[in-house]
Amino acid sequence: MKNKVLVIAVHPDDETLGCGGTLLKHKANGDEIHWLICTHTNINDDFYKIREKEIKKVTNLYDFNSVHNLKFNSTQIDQYSTNELIEKISNVIKNIEPNILYMPYKNDVHSDHRKIFEASFSCTKPFRFPYIKKIYMMEVVSETEYVPATKEDWFVPNVYVDISKFMKKKIKIMQTYKSELGKHPFPRSKKNLKALSSFRGATVGCKYAESFVLLRDIR
């Protein structure tokens, strides 16, 4: 049975940082992959046009089966009502009917991530969305590692995906987001992205890996 995979990216690039190699692996295995982007930059900003071109290029590189953009204002998610967030996210989920969900980590330092997680997780009740069988929280560089270092907040992965065959393409895709990359020790540097994937890989005995927190697994 082939999977229907939906990644909920608060901002464009979260999908690549959090599960880019895993998405490529899903695609290589014949699964459907779908991309939900929750926010966008100011439409009157010159950067808006650049970002739209980047999104189009990234869409082609992954060969997404569908892309959905809710176009909430970036860094202003807390100004939207929870009901509005849930309604728009749930409409996309109902349209796709994914059996696998990737979403932001619940304690990410960015408030946009936390609010979108809360709204997204509200859209996973089994009696309303029975087709959702697996739910994972992603590790997004520059957001997840800056949570308070307390046991109730810290990201503790329990699932690892070997992305050794896809690491090179993940970096290539991330390079599409030119404004998001910087030189080491900037968190979103090529060196750091490889270092994190190398560390996660070494944890489970492979060259490169992405790690996740599993929230649900119905078999």
Helix, strand, or coil here: 4? strand
CB neighbour list of residue 83: distance below 8 Å, 6 or more residues apart: none
Question: What pLDDT was estimated at residue 46?
Answer: 79
Span 123-178, pLDDT tens digits: 999 999 999 999 999 999 999 999 999 999 999 999 999 999 999 999 999 999 99
Instruction: Specify the CATH number of the domain 4-162+211-217.
Output: 3.40.50.10320
Nearest alpha-carbon partner for 60 in 156, 169, 161, 148: 169
Look at residue 43 and tell me whether its pLDDT is greater than 80: no
- Cβ proximity of 123 and 156 under 8 Å: no
Q: What is the pTM of this model?
A: 0.96
Cis peptide before 130 (omega within 30 of 0): no
Nearest alpha-carbon partner for 134 in 20, 26, 56: 26
CA separation for the pair 173, 2 (Å, rounded): 24
Give percent above pLDDT 70 in the chain: 99
- C-alpha distances out from residue 2 to 16, 31, 93, 110, 210, Å: 22, 5, 17, 33, 21
Q: What's the token pair of residue 103? A: 């979403």
